[in-house]
A and B are shown apart, each in its own frame.
With several copies, the nearest count.
Chain A
Amino acid sequence: MSWTADDIETWLGNCADRMTQSAPELNTLDGQLGDGDLGATLQKCAALMKAGLLGTAALPSDAFKTAAGACARASGSSFGTLLAVALLVLAQETAGKPTLLVQDMAPLLEKIIAALMLRGRSKLGDKTALDSLEAIRLAVSNLQDAEDLQLLCSAAAERAIEDFRMRPNLIGRARMFAEKSVGLADPGMVAVARIVGRAA
């Protein structure tokens, strides 16, 4: 399995659509532990992404760069910035490559997670979107080409939400509600699951 610039644009567009659809749910979740703007943040990112992705990317990295810029312009909320960072890493790491391979996924996710930890001064286990990405990274390591990728990623992301539900948030706004956060899904983790797509 391999992806061209077109495939990547299509995928990013689908992600954007899913971000828009899940906005109300994510606002509500973020309202319980944070400032309730996660859905709105993703909505703005999605709108700017859609506006920028015009099917003209020559290379996958061009599409990532456009999407990164869109997220950087969108918002001052943490998740928007984390998205921008992740997309920028993808742009930088895939620079020059005409196609991407499924085998590239796990190492790219590793790079993304490392960059996000640096940017967010957080670590795995803090109960954030990063833990979801790590779960996905593990799921796509040693991948068999034939598997349903979306199902695999989605299942991993959903599992991660449950694995962390009973743990306290250790970073971000939700840190201030550490006790309250036990038993609640981390909004950012739910966002990752929604972005990669619900298993059908």
Chain B
Amino acid sequence: MKKLLNNPDNYADEALDGMCLAHPEFYQRSGDTGRIIHRTGGPIKGRVGIVSGGGSGHLPVFAGYVGPGLLDACSVGNVFAGPSVADCMDAMKIADGGAGVLCLYGNYGGDRMNFDMAGEMLAMEGLASTTVLVADDVASAQSAERDKRRGVAGMIYPFKIAGAAAASGGDLATVTVIAQKAANACRSIGVALWPCTVPEAGKPTFEIAEDELEMGMGIHGEPGIWRGKLRPADEIAAEMLQRVSDELDLVKGDRVSVLVNSLGATPHEELFILYRHIANALAAKSVSIIMPLVGRYATSMEMTGASLSLIKLDAELEQHLKAPARCAFWSVA
């Protein structure tokens, strides 16, 4: 395992420490275990709080998206492991500005159980909360079983859009409805070339040959759709675009945002090579791209590979996508 770390058991905590030291204007740690990251300054009174959470090792997801116009708090687990129920409860309490809390996170069994349980326990204390699961990974289940799909990079669109809705004063029901709408409008798929290594485990999350890639692999190394020989970037981009746009029924004049995301090691140069194909292909269909995002928005540490996310926009989603927001990893002015 070749990583810049101290004790593998402290990887998540030391990374969070560093993040808060580097960006005290955005992030503060709290909770019994220090596994809550919340907005500096605390919740905004009278505004809906938005909470997310999940495992470490995906920065900027999840905790990196805490910031004005984005998330209010996050509960953070160990690398690739969910946060505890208690931390989910703490995050929700910290995010509560009196107008209720939306729990907005990726559709993983463990995370869902924990947030649901946290929500029920806090309901007994009178805290109102709702849940929107992001299940954007088209590779993880057929569209008939959408509720089984995992949440991947596309989740940043619901983060951004729900964050804008909350910032503009929407009530819990309104924010929940628009977050669900954003989650519904969004599709992603990933392609993996090399695995990463979970520090505590010390060995790669999967094995793959020198000349192979896997289409549809999940961000923790979950099995994908097919594994085969490396292909030209344009072919890979074309297949990814096909798969994510399949269910979105894109027609001439539609407006989408596009995220070409590195899973970690894949460099910007290659993301732009992928984006070039995707931009040209969408232009050929007369589909407009709004606020394209190319970079590292949801990673699996040093995994090599990329993901493509598309969100189909209507006027409301677009307006919220473009609303101002800031965190250390993404700002929209």
Q: State if A and B touch, Cβ cutoff 8 Å.
A: yes
Q: Which residues of A contact B (CB under 8 A)?
A: 35-37, 69, 71-78, 80-82, 84-85, 88, 119-121, 171-173, 176-177
- Whether A76 contacts B82 by the Cβ 8 Å rule is yes
- Those 10 A-B pairs whose CB atoms lie nearest each other, nearest first: A76-B82, A72-B85, A76-B77, A73-B86, A78-B110, A81-B113, A76-B83, A72-B86, A76-B81, A119-B113
- Whether B32 contacts A81 by the Cβ 8 Å rule is no
- Give the residues in chain A near B201, CB-CB below 8 Å: 36
In chain A, what residue has the closest Cβ to B53? A76
- Give the residues in chain B near A119, CB-CB below 8 Å: 113, 116-117
| B253 in contact (CB, < 8 A) | no
Selected from A69, A72, A77, A85, the residue in CB contact (under 8 A) with B82 is A77
- Give the residues in chain B near A172, CB-CB below 8 Å: 109
- Whether A81 contacts B222 by the Cβ 8 Å rule is no
- Whether A75 contacts B84 by the Cβ 8 Å rule is yes
- Give the residues in chain B near A171, CB-CB below 8 Å: 109
- Whether A120 contacts B223 by the Cβ 8 Å rule is no
Selected from A37, A71, A176, the residue in CB contact (under 8 A) with B81 is A37
In chain A, what residue has the closest Cβ to B112? A121
Report the separation of the CA atoms of residues A22 and B210 in the bound assembly, to the nearest whole angstrom. 34
In chain B, what residue has the closest Cβ to A31? B201
Report the separation of the CA atoms of residues A97 and B324 in the bound assembly, to the nearest whole angstrom. 55
- Give the residues in chain B near A177, CB-CB below 8 Å: 223
- Contacts A36-B201, A73-B32; is A84 near B117 (CB within 8 Å)? yes
Q: Can you report 24 residue pairs joining A to B where beta carbons are below 8 Å apart?
A: A35-B81, A35-B220, A69-B86, A72-B117, A73-B32, A73-B33, A73-B85, A75-B81, A76-B55, A76-B77, A76-B81, A76-B87, A77-B81, A77-B82, A80-B84, A81-B113, A84-B85, A84-B117, A88-B117, A119-B113, A120-B113, A172-B109, A173-B109, A176-B223
| B130 in contact (CB, < 8 A) | no
| B78 in contact (CB, < 8 A) | yes
Most buried by A among B81, B82, B112, B113: B113
Most buried by A among B32, B85, B86: B85
Most buried by B among A71, A75, A88, A177: A75
- Whether A81 contacts B110 by the Cβ 8 Å rule is yes
**Chain B 198-227: CB-based contact to A (< 8 A → 1; otherwise 0):** 000100000000000000000010110000
- Give the residues in chain A near B116, CB-CB below 8 Å: 119
The smallest C-beta distance from B87 to any residue of chain A, in angstroms, reads 8
- Give the residues in chain A near B80, CB-CB below 8 Å: 35
In chain A, what residue has the closest Cβ to B54? A76
Interface residues of B in 78-133 (CB under 8 A from A): 78, 80-87, 89, 109-114, 116-117, 121
Report the separation of the CA atoms of residues A35 and B198 in the bound assembly, to the nearest whole angstrom. 10
Known interface pairs A73-B86, A84-B117, A119-B116; 8 further A-B residue pairs with C-beta atoms within 8 A, sorted by A's residue number: A72-B84, A73-B33, A76-B81, A80-B84, A88-B117, A171-B109, A172-B109, A177-B223
